[in-house]
Structure 1
Amino acid sequence: MRKRWWVLGGLMVLAGGVFVASALNAGGSVRANEFARRGKVWNIAHQGGEGLWPSNTMLAFSNAVSLGADMLETDIHATKDGVLVTIHDASVNRTTNGRGLVKDMTLAQLKALDAGYQWTSDGGKTFPFRGKGVTVATLDELFTAFPNMPMTVEIKQDDPPIAAKLCETLKQHRMTDKVIVASFKDSALKEFRAACPDVLTSMTESEVRPIVFLSLVNLAGLARPAGESLQVPVSAGGIPVVTKRLVREAIRKNVSVQVWTINDEVEMRRLVGLGVNGIMTDRPDVLKRVLQSSTPPR
């Protein structure tokens, strides 16, 4: 998930009526979903476990599943020839030995790159996955390999739009009931919801803001969430986002609260105690250990 978040500083001094009206008019009733079940905290491997393996690769996804992660999180862009690929950035510069934008490259050009080239766990002293045949993965490959694995798929690209292509791919692989689709881009999520209305979605920043505000002033019960999952950071602008009140009201509306991106064991335990439904982490191994020794509230 995106590391930057909207700034909430000064929110309490804004006119509450604007946000209340926005929340009350945002979407219809929210459907029940298994991700909002009380008493279970989902171990969500962020980009397949970026702290352990090259992110968004089949190597990472396979290892995360073998480790026992409950859910995979991935990001998607489309190649020049229209293939959906699992990669976080719009360019290949940060994670491969190549340079350029994903949307300007064909799948064949992407597959020729070393997707393990830049991964290091020791500040650049060693690069253990270089030359190991790790490549950029396609969404088709991921769905084919793990047809029963719950996933969060984040739409990163909106120019050109790829939401309709994602909907088509989900239907082809019969994954519509196994995913949460997310995006920080309002246009992308609006397009996806129109194309695939039966698929669960997370909420964009503009949809989350009024819910957080209402929670801060003890009016969260008034909110009408536009999606089925709140995928949020612990705090923003120095103001807490994930609170017991927010979690309680979200779950009451069958909305899951999934927090990103948490790699610290102490913070993981605190969030489990708050009753969150899921934790996105680069270290699913650490979270697994925490969950084995913690009992979520019911």
Structure 2
Amino acid sequence: MMKFKRYIKRVFIFLFILATFLYLNNSSLFTKTRNQSPLLLAHRGMAQTFPMEGIMNDTCTAERIYPPEHPYLENTIPSMEAAFQAGADIVELDIKPTKDGQFAVFHDWTLDCRTNADGMVKDYTMAELKKMDIGYGYTADNGKTFPFRGKGIGLMPSLDEVLKHFPEGSFLIHIKSTDEDEGVQLASYLSKLPKNHLEQLTVYGDDSPVSSVKKQLPDLRVMSMASLKSCLLPYIGIGWTGIIPGACRNTQLHIPEKYAPLLWGFPNKFLNRMDSVNTRVILVAGDGGWSEGFDSTQDLKRLPQNYNGGIWTNRIDVIAPLLKKGD
């Protein structure tokens, strides 16, 4: 009986020591202070926004925008300029290959939702795409009026134009494809950029093209569902020890706010750990579906107190003034 009591006592002591270690090793209360402002990522630059309810893969979001509060169209050079001027640290953009081997900066798989043309981006040369009106399909009142019709002609840029226009700009490039060959094409293009410019870029998207990019450019930050899982699943298993899995190094993590609290040391301890291995953390709203962002004052109230990691937003014009008042 005495032996059993001593055994139980040792178990309790062990569990107490383990619990204390877990707390001290993963509490943000005992970590290096983070004084910098949050890193703000502007999704599609300064864009027209729309309600997220009921969105499917084939939903034409241009047909359901909110009444416009600014004159900018997503994925255009003017919208990117406005986003950087508003306070964006990074601008996200979408790319699609063209018929003549370039990359057009455009979101949709097909052209019929936003433009006055049909078919796919790859069916046209960049010069032909320049002639289209990318503001043609936007409406906030079910087609009664089209406030951007006629104003988007010539505004679809190539990726080359964007990177030359913003030689020091930081961009998150979304390769809108499942084709690994398009990843090879993108990597071939990016490999010709100066090293200092390449360091300002991150590529994300489907596993196959992103894997192709990473193979050719191993030092480039990338993000896909596969790369996210390869980092976070092992981290959930061993992160309590302070060990950082190798897959978490030199990459980018887009973490839904719903799951962020499951990560050991979140927020500050986790952010510092990722900083130490050159990995950028971007917090996205909700469960990560459909590019949900922190877009209002109410959304910001859900952030951890004094959070200063990366933040995904669709309304950089609203969020930046609230979070960068002291800059």
TM-score (norm 1): 0.73
Q: Are residues 1:137 and 2:157 paired?
A: yes
Q: How does 1:30-179 map to 2 (within 5 A)?
A: 39-51=36-48, 52=70, 53-120=72-139, 126-132=145-151, 133-159=153-179, 161-174=181-194, 175-179=197-201
RMSD: 3.0
Per-residue deviation, residues 10-48 of structure 1 (Å, max 9, x unmatched): xxxxxxxxxxxxxxxxxxxxxxxxxxx872322222111
Checking the alignment, whether the CA contact within 8 Å between 1:79 and 1:106 is kept in structure 2 is yes
Structure (1/2) with the larger helix percentage: 2
Corresponding residue for residue 254 of structure 2: 231
Distance in structure 2 (CA, Å) of the matches to 1:288 and 1:76 = 25
Q: Whose Rg is larger?
A: 2
Residue 271 of structure 1 deviates from its aligned partner by: 3.0
Q: Secondary structure at the match of 1:231?
A: strand
Residue 226 of structure 1 deviates from its aligned partner by: 5.7
Checking the alignment, whether the CA contact within 8 Å between 1:54 and 1:119 is kept in structure 2 is no
Any stretches of 5+ residues in structure 1 without a counterpart? 1-36
Distance 1:104 1:285, change over 3 A: same
User: 1:286 is aligned with what amino acid?
Assistant: V
Distance 1:226 1:292, change over 3 A: closer
Residue 213 of structure 1 deviates from its aligned partner by: 4.3
Q: Secondary structure at the match of 2:198?
A: coil
Q: Secondary structure at the match of 1:61?
A: helix
Deviates most, 64-73 or 210-219: 210-219
Corresponding residue for residue 191 of structure 1: 212
Checking the alignment, whether the CA contact within 8 Å between 1:259 and 1:278 is kept in structure 2 is yes
Checking the alignment, whether the CA contact within 8 Å between 2:249 and 2:274 is kept in structure 1 is no
Per-residue deviation, residues 106-136 of structure 1 (Å, max 9, x unmatched): 2233222111123345665543322123532
Query: How many aligned residue pairs are there?
Result: 255
Per-residue deviation, residues 67-107 of structure 1 (Å, max 9, x unmatched): 33222111111012211111122211222222211122222
Q: Which one of 282, 285, 291 corresponds to residue 258 of structure 1?
A: 282
User: 2:189 is aligned with what amino acid?
Assistant: T
TM-score (norm 2): 0.67
Any stretches of 5+ residues in structure 2 without a counterpart? 1-33, 49-69, 285-292
Distance in structure 1 (CA, Å) of the matches to 2:306 and 2:282 = 12
Distance in structure 1 (CA, Å) of the matches to 2:271 and 2:253 = 9
Q: Higher RCO, 1 or 2 (CA under 8 Å, sep at least 6)?
A: 1
